[in-house]
Amino acid sequence: MFRLPSLKVEKQNLPMHPKISRKNTSVRILDERFIRILKIFKWGPDAEKALEVLKLKVDHRLIRDVLKIDVEINVKIQFFKWAGKRRNFEHDSTTYMALIHCLDEARLYGEMWKTIQDIVRSPCIMGPADLSEVVKILGNAKMVNKALSVFYQIKGRKCKPTASTYNSMISMLMQEGHYEKVHELYNEMCNEGSCFPDTITYSALISAFGKLGRDDYAMRLFDEMKDSGLHPTAKIYTTLLGIYFKLDKVEKALDLIQEMKNKGCTPTVFTYTEWIKGLGKAGKADDAYSVFLDMLKEGCKPDVVVINNLINILGKVGRLEDARRLFNQMGAWQCKPNAVTYNTVIKALFECKAPASEAVSWFEKMKANGVTPSSFTYSILIDGFCKTNRVEKALLLLEEMDEKGFPPCPAAYCSLINSLGKAKRYEAANELFLELKENCGCKMLVYML
């Protein structure tokens, strides 16, 4: 039989506060008792009886409060559905959104989608902020098509999207690589008449067009943004910088950096990465190294990506000592070398004709420091050993690579086949060729051509 705990006992355990009236204290006690009932008895007749005895009014605030407490998600779902059937009560967007957040946190995506469909079909009005939140939640759950469906249903009947709403859609599409759809949404946004792109919109669009290879559109949007009186962010400048360097427009890239500084926009580590990488691609290794030193002077902390790029640039021009020094300084910047770092150093050693034993030493150092070699690591070593006439060592590495479970690497096989052919070990070369053909098929033939 359902019984409430004694109110007298509860009062004895309640701390007094001078600013809380007796009436408010009593309400707090009743709420706490109801919470305990939900935790012990779950949802059912006992919990319903508690609502009646405690005279708790079923309103939107109560729904939101219950959905916040630490009880099983099924209790929350059942309570929410029960409340929706009460006379003279209808859920609003705040209660729907509270449940959606609970279901998202519990990763009950099926039930969450049903709830979102319920809110779409219900008469309650949704604001642009709620629509943005629903889009973000569905996007994070990788439910892109459902997010698009909800966006257009709610847009048509329930609310007028703002720039922020469109930005949520665009950000979701960007994360999932739907760059073409980003362009469509931008056109829709412009056709709204009362909804205009902001800095966040332009940032996503410029990035999308850059990834699609539509560099002219990206540059046009950049100019359009400035003509609209908006100020580009460091991220936008960085995206354009990468585009200019990709198109070999080095002077344009350098002018952009100057413009960025003149506008008081501080370069980030990502900006410096594109800058250094671009200068290296343009054959300006000395300038790239100078920019890195300036970066340190400006107090911008390097990350592993910018260091990997600089080591690669220095290695290609034979500046091994600078590359080694850079590697040794990584600890001072709390920057941990990864597989790419070691691969870049090993590749630079072979390209600079350093002793093969040094490359082996770096390979062992890599493993000793807990960095797992990648298939590319083995490919670099095999190719390097082949070019230094250490075919037997290369064959052993190929065998080790296979034992580690890496997929066959055409580059490694081709290096070995070529070296075995030069050494007139035709039988061994043919055996590797057949093995590669069996494992890689037509892909291998295309690679070798």
Using the CB atoms, write b or e for 179-216: b if 16+ within 10 Å.
Answer: bebbbebbeebeeeeebebbbbbbbbbbbbbbeeebbe
394 and 341 belong to one structural domain: no
Q: Count Cβ atoms below 10 Å from residue 177 Cβ, excluding itself.
A: 12
382 and 449 belong to one structural domain: yes
At 394-443, the pLDDT tens digits run 888 888 888 888 876 788 888 888 888 887 787 878 887 887 777 665 54
pLDDT for 333 equals 93
DSSP string, 335-398: ----HHHHHHHHHHHHHTT--HHHHHHHHHHHHHTTPPP-HHHHHHHHHHHHHTT-HHHHHHHH
d(CA 119, CA 100): 10
448 and 381 belong to one structural domain: yes
How many whole angstroms from its chain centre is CA 163? 22
How many whole angstroms from its chain centre is CA 383? 34
Q: Alpha helix (H) ranges present in 282-319?
A: 285-297, 304-316
pLDDT for 107 equals 94
Which tokens is 343 given? 């691969």
pLDDT for 22 equals 38
d(CA 322, CA 328): 10
Task: For residue 200, tell me if it sits in a domain.
Answer: no
Element (DSSP H or E) covering residue 30: helix 22-41
356 and 391 belong to one structural domain: no
pLDDT for 179 equals 79
Mean pLDDT of 348-356: 90
Task: For residue 170, tell me if it sits in a domain.
Answer: no
Residue of 201, 178, 176 lying closest to 188 (CA atoms): 201
Structural domain boundaries enclosing 334: 301-362
Which tokens is 299 given? 């107090």
CATH number at residue 395: 1.25.40
Which among 362, 394, 414 is the end of a domain? 362
d(CA 404, CA 392): 19
309 and 350 belong to one structural domain: yes
Judged by DSSP in three states, 170 sits in helix
Which among 331, 362, 393 is the end of a domain? 362
346 and 315 belong to one structural domain: yes
Give how many domains the chain has, as a whole number.
2
Q: Count Cβ atoms below 10 Å from residue 151 Cβ, excluding itself.
A: 22
347 and 379 belong to one structural domain: no
**Nearby residues of 134 by Cβ (< 8 Å), 6 or more positions away:** 97, 100, 116, 126, 147, 150, 154
Res. 80 pLDDT band, cuts 50 70 90: very high
Res. 13 pLDDT band, cuts 50 70 90: very low
Task: For residue 204, tell me if it sits in a domain.
Answer: no
- Average pLDDT along the chain: 85
Cα dist from 332 to 276, 322, 326, 336, 435, whole Å: 21, 16, 10, 10, 46
Task: For residue 232, tell me if it sits in a domain.
Answer: no
Task: For residue 138, tell me if it sits in a domain.
Answer: no
User: Is the pLDDT reported for residue 55 higher than 50?
Assistant: yes
Q: Is 44 exposed, middle or buried (0-12, 13-18, 19+ CB in 10 A)?
A: middle
447 and 415 belong to one structural domain: yes
At 197-211, the pLDDT tens digits run 889 889 988 988 888
**Nearby residues of 78 by Cβ (< 8 Å), 6 or more positions away:** 43
d(CA 410, CA 197): 47
Task: For residue 206, tell me if it sits in a domain.
Answer: no
381 and 350 belong to one structural domain: no
Bigger pLDDT: 214 vs 19: 214
Count of residues for the chain? 449
330 and 356 belong to one structural domain: yes
Lowest mean pLDDT, pick from 15-24, 87-96, 154-163: 15-24
User: Is the pLDDT reported for residue 223 higher than 50?
Assistant: yes
410 and 380 belong to one structural domain: yes
Using the CB atoms, write b or e for 415-438: b if 16+ within 10 Å.
Answer: bbbebbeeeeeeebbeebbebbee
Contact 11, 29 (CB under 8 A): yes
Contact 401, 409 (CB under 8 A): yes
Mean pLDDT of 181-202: 83
Written as one letter, the residue type at 189 is M
pLDDT for 10 equals 40
Judged by DSSP in three states, 173 sits in helix
Task: For residue 384, tell me if it sits in a domain.
Answer: yes
d(CA 274, CA 272): 6
Quote the DSSP letter at residue 334: T
Cα dist from 161 to 151, 172, 207, 448, whole Å: 9, 15, 22, 53
Which tokens is 209 given? 């067009």
Task: For residue 407, tell me if it sits in a domain.
Answer: yes
354 and 388 belong to one structural domain: no
Report helix, strand and coil shares of the chain as percent, to nearest 5. Answer: 75, 0, 25
* pTM exceeds 0.85: no
Which among 321, 337, 362 is the end of a domain? 362
